Amino acid sequence: MRSQAAPHRGIFLSGTEGRQIMKDIVIIGAGTAGLTAAIYALRAGKSVLLIESQMYGGQIVNTPDIENYPGISHVSGFDFAQGLYDQATAFGAELVYETATAIENEGDHKVVRTASGSSYECKAVILATGAKNRKLGIAREEELTGHGISYCATCDGMFFKGKDVAVAGGGSTALGDAAYLADLCSKVYLIHRRDAFRGVAADVEKLKGKKNVEFVLNANVTAVLGDQNVEGVEVTDKLTGEKRVLPVSALFVAIGQEPDNQPFANVVDLDPKGYISAGESCATKQPGIFTAGDCRTKTLRQLTTAASDGAVAATAACAYIDSL
């Protein structure tokens, strides 16, 4: 099978189901960076396969309101992601839902292997693996996930309509989640381990204007109470050591992300935090393997920089293929 929008000659891909598809570029991860890379590569005449382990769109799907993407004054994360997906697939991108587990160099091409046993051959790979939610690391966090502990306010907030909830974190995600939940829930406690926020000041000011938001600063979440479901959250003041129980039905954890690039550590360099080492060129140390978005070393992880990386990585991958 060959993409209508991809006249350029690719090489065969073979999955466990015996599928044979011709692609030039395999993009691992269908978030903002991966989908943007797909759009650029397809418009440059290359064939593209996206491999995604969860839903397309990546982290931004969980962001209720985007107000800092140039040219778009307001859009929900879901609508933004849907628009990107529609645009990429309209150009001929194909997507498989699988977990990529390894990349192998085989002569002048690469083989991407997946957890299901499929293997996909291509000329270039773009790693756009994003990052996964960081855990608080407190007792019973896993057990109560789905029973009051959530990592996605827009997915689960409705379950707690009219109730008291807590958000942990001090970045843009936590601020956005707190604002979203404040319009839905009767009270929102925003728990942050410092008294200064990593998220933007304008969002902090907006939250301060909401009467049902209480800031719990310089505090750590030290326990979650409740048998079957969350019934309260214990916070400990970092300065005084004083403990306090917040009577909430849910704890939304929004304390950032961590990369998940270990499966590819044999072909690309990772920095000490696990991000893929690559500069603004998005080229890794490995010819033919590029990286884009939150999974790479960078100072600013935003939608704009993810989209920018996608364009840069795709353009570099196309130039690499043309040079073969």
Contact 114, 51 (CB under 8 A): yes
- Which span sits near ligand NAP by CB under 6 A: 1-9, 105-113, 251-259, 309-317? 251-259
- CA separation for the pair 237, 178 (Å, rounded): 20
Active site residue 322: no
* Contact between 259 and ligand NAP per CB under 6 A: no
SS3 state of residue 235: strand
Which member of 130, 170, 293, 310 binds ligand NAP (CB under 6 A)? 170
Binder of ligand NAP out of 140, 163, 187, 193 (CB under 6 A): 193
Distance CA 114, CA 68 (A): 35
- 152 part of the active site: yes
Q: How far apart are CA 159 and CA 58, in angstroms?
A: 22
- SS3 (DSSP) at 296: strand
| Contact region with ligand NAP (CB under 6 A), list: 92-100, 138-146, 191-199, 232-240 | 191-199
Q: How far is the CB of 196 from ligand NAP (least distance, A)?
A: 7
Quote the least distance from Cβ 17 to ligand NAP, whole Å: 36
Give bridge partners of residue 298 from the DSSP assignment: none
CA separation (Å) from 76 to 176, 239, 318? 11, 37, 31
Supply 105's token pair: 């160099």
Residue numbers 109-148 binding ligand NAP by CB under 6 A? 134, 136
Strands in 116-227 per DSSP E: 119-122, 124-127, 132-133, 149-150, 164-168, 187-191, 213-216, 219-225
Q: Residue 298 phi/psi, 5° resolution? A: -170, 165
218 binds ligand NAP (CB under 6 A): no
State which of positions 57-96 bind ligand NAP (CB under 6 A).
63, 66, 68
For the question of residue 156 being annotated catalytic, the response is yes
Region of 22-30, 111-119, 147-155, 168-176 interacting with ligand NAP (CB under 6 A): 168-176
Applying CB under 6 A, the site for ligand NAP has a residue count of 23
Minimum Å gap between C-beta 156 and ligand NAP is: 16
Cα separation, 250 vs 233, whole angstroms: 8
Interaction site with ligand NAP (CB under 6 A): 63, 66, 68, 134, 136, 168-174, 176, 193-194, 198, 254-257, 301-303
Active site residues: 152, 155-156
